[in-house]
Every structure is written in structure tokens, then in C-alpha cells.
Amino acid sequence: MKFSLGPSLFFWPKQEVHDYYQRASDSSADIIYLGETVCSKRRELRAKDWLELARQLSSNTDKQIVVSTMTLLESPAEIQVMRRLCDNGDLLVEANDLSAVQMMHELKLPFVLGPAINCYNLATLKVFLKQGLVRWVMPVELSGDWLRQLLQEAEQENIRHQFECEVFSWGYLPLAYSARCFTARSEDRPKDDCQYCCINYPQGRKMNSREGERVFVLNGIQTMSGYQYNLVNEVPQMKAMGVDIARISADSDAAFMQLNNFKAQLQTPQHKALVSTTECNGYWHQIPGMSIA
């Protein structure tokens, strides 16, 4: 089983992005995803900068480097930028919208299907296999049982070997996408004059209930889970059911430590108690996502 570092979902200054990926290249991750997936107005790094960084990492490490694309695309300009990323010549691409799937298929190139594309069953997965899917990242709201059934069906149809399966396993869960920017709204700014304010919140903005319960995290047009998802105790189970890759979402503080925690579970599984005010694992156990099983 391998471990990946997901794309950063947050907006960080250019130098911090470079420093972060320097650390990533020295980390225990087997696969590194990078690229802007949330908002096209975030231009500390432009498409060519992301590709440059990706190539640099690719030549300096033996890790697999994957370029992640945007999730919610609404304008031809955004599509143009994505085309540059998709048609990059050598690096594998993670498609986070059907538009990217369409492009990769036209280019006759393989792709990773990201977690924001609604692939909930084998019939859908088979359509994507025909388009060029080589790796499927399960939608975050699905459970271990759901996955087990789907992978068993794939075995029965003798197509399980045609794709890798990846599970979002640690970090704030990307839960929703909107036309509206909630970070700008939290600063009482219109989206058209957002002043790129999410750069001031390197881990998003906390949104609590009026009783102080951490409900969600605001990250521009994206709404994330208030708690950090943590499947560290499920690593042996994932491995047993044939999950190929566990994804640790990029995080300015803890991702590298979590990578090591997760990897250690393969050697000597050890139950780790989750903290109910900051962590959750509900989705995997088919209970409310914010709960702990």
C-alpha cells in the first residue's frame, strides 16, 4: 500500500508553496499531487509555475508527481488554463471535473479521477475506464462497506487490475463548492473584490455553531469539514480490502507527521484514540461524517 500527499486545498504564498514541496520531496510520501483545485483567482502560482514545480520535483525524486486540476469550472478562461495543465506532455493528471475527463480522453492520455467527481458505482467506473481512468479516488462521503462491495464487484468482473483505488484518509474534507466565496463574505467583501483574502487563512476560516461546536471550515468557494478526517486506525482494514493508496491532504502543519503515522500502521498497527473536538472518521463507518466510530 502506498501513501500520497493530496494537493493543497488552501491558498498559500508562493514561497511557502515552494518550501512546502521541498519538504514533501524529502517526506515519506510515495505520490505527490499538486496544483490549484479550488479557485482560479488564486494566482500565486500560475499554470506554468505549477508545471515547473512539478517537473522539478519529478526530476529530483523518485516519487510519482501528479498535477491536480480545478473542481468547479465556470468560464472558458478557466478551461483554457486547465487545457495547459492537461496537455503538459509528461506528467499524470488528476481530473476533478468532467471537463478534465473529456480533455484527457481527447488527448488520449490516462488520468486519475479525483474525489469531487461523482463515481459511486461500478457501472460509472467502467465508463471512466473507457475514457482512460487509471486511478480512482473515492468520493469522500462513501464508506468502507460501500468501497468493499464496489471492489468485490470489480473483482468479479475481472477488471480490478485495471485501476488503482485511493482513499482520502486524513485532513479537512472538501465537502462543497459554490459560486459564492464564503471567505470573502466572512470579511464582508464581494467576491469580485475579494482581495485574495483567503491567503490570510492558511488553514481556512473556522465556522462554529453558536454553541462553539466546530462545524465547518470556510476555504474560499469551498466548504470543508470542521474536524479533520482521520482513518489512521483503518489502515490495516484498507490494505486488506485492496486499497492501493491512502491520501493525506496537504496541511501546513501536520501532514508530514501524519504520513509517518499512517505508514507505521502497516508495520505495527496501533489503535490511536481520536480527539472528538477536532477529529472524525464517521464517513468510513457509514455514520454522520463528523462523528467518531
How many beta carbons lie within 10 A of that of residue 6, not counting itself?
29
* Contact between 289 and other proteins per CB under 8 A: yes
Q: Which stretch binds other proteins (CB under 8 A): 19-27, 175-183, 245-253, 267-275?
A: 175-183
* Contact between 123 and other proteins per CB under 8 A: yes
Q: Identify the residue among 101, 137, 198, 274 touching other proteins (CB under 8 A).
A: 101
Cβ-contact 247, 230 below 8 angstroms: no
Give the span between the Cα atoms of 88 and 107, in whole angstroms.
Answer: 10
- At residue 152, the 3 state secondary structure works out as helix
Cα distances (Å, whole numbers) of residue 234 to 44, 81, 169: 36, 38, 9
Q: Identify the residue among 149, 233, 237, 261 touching other proteins (CB under 8 A).
A: 149
Cell triple for residue 290? Answer: 463528523
Q: Of the two residues 92 and 122, which places its CB atom closer to other proteins in the complex?
A: 122
Strands 133-137 and 31-34: unpaired
Q: Identify the residue among 15, 76, 158, 273 touching other proteins (CB under 8 A).
A: 76
Cell triple for residue 80? Answer: 483554457
* Contact between 54 and other proteins per CB under 8 A: no
For residue 253, what is the DSSP state? Answer: T
Q: Of the two residues 28 and 146, which places its CB atom closer to other proteins in the complex?
A: 146
Q: Return residues touching other proteins (CB under 8 A).
A: 71-76, 78-79, 97-103, 116, 118-128, 139-142, 146, 149-150, 153, 173, 175-182, 185-186, 190-192, 205-213, 215-216, 218, 223, 225, 282-283, 286-290
